[in-house]
Amino acid sequence: MTPARKTDSHSFTQLFHLHKNHTYDFVLKMLGDKDAAADVVQDVFVKLHEHMDRNLPIEDTKFWLFIVARNLCLNYLRRHRKQQPLDSVIDSLEHSYNAVDSRLSALRQAVGRLDSPYKEGLILKVYQGFTYAEIAEILGTTVPAVRAILFKARNQLRDELNRTQAKGDSYEL
């Protein structure tokens, strides 16, 4: 990835088109609200544009965008005092609507109830495909801390799913 530097509007447009979908997907999964996600993503790219105008270097644009997006999501959630349910965490798996539908619904709700660092870690790892090192950079922590976050997230998610499901229907993550 090439660093972002102050250039013409063409460079900003290229960066926008390159990163808008991944950024939007992450923000949507964090907030669970399409309108709020669109607003936050707009704010992310406004900040990028301002940053580029001030000719401040960005080592890796993708990571910078995810850090800004995460911070703006946390600010949004703090302002609204509740975490919105994640509507589209499992959309790629929704190919069977019968028996799978109830499990997907339970999983979506369980992920929505995860504590913020666990939810962020899962989204970044499972749905965005970041490595532990990349997640550590985005979250501002260490690789061992990310491993602990993901371990605890999976355990909390499994426990939550097992608690809400009928007996004999247990989950292994």
Determine contact, residues 44/23, Cβ cutoff 8 Å.
yes
Phi, psi of 54, rounded to the nearest 5 degrees: -85, 0
Q: How far apart are CA 151 and CA 164, in angstroms?
A: 20
Look at residue 88 in the predicted model and tell me its pLDDT.
Answer: 43
Contacts of 130 (CB under 8 A, 6+ apart): 66, 124, 138
- Which pLDDT tens digit goes with each residue over 65-123? 888 998 898 888 888 755 444 444 444 444 444 445 666 677 777 777 888 888 888 88
| Annotated domain spans of the chain | 9-80, 91-164
Q: What CATH number should be reported for the domain whose range is 9-80?
A: 1.10.1740.10
Q: State pTM to two decimals.
A: 0.55
Please name the CATH architecture into which domain 91-164 falls: Orthogonal Bundle (1.10)
Phi, psi of 169, rounded to the nearest 5 degrees: -115, 70
- Residues listed for the chain: 173
Look at residue 170 in the predicted model and tell me its pLDDT.
Answer: 53
Look at residue 42 in the predicted model and tell me its pLDDT.
Answer: 93
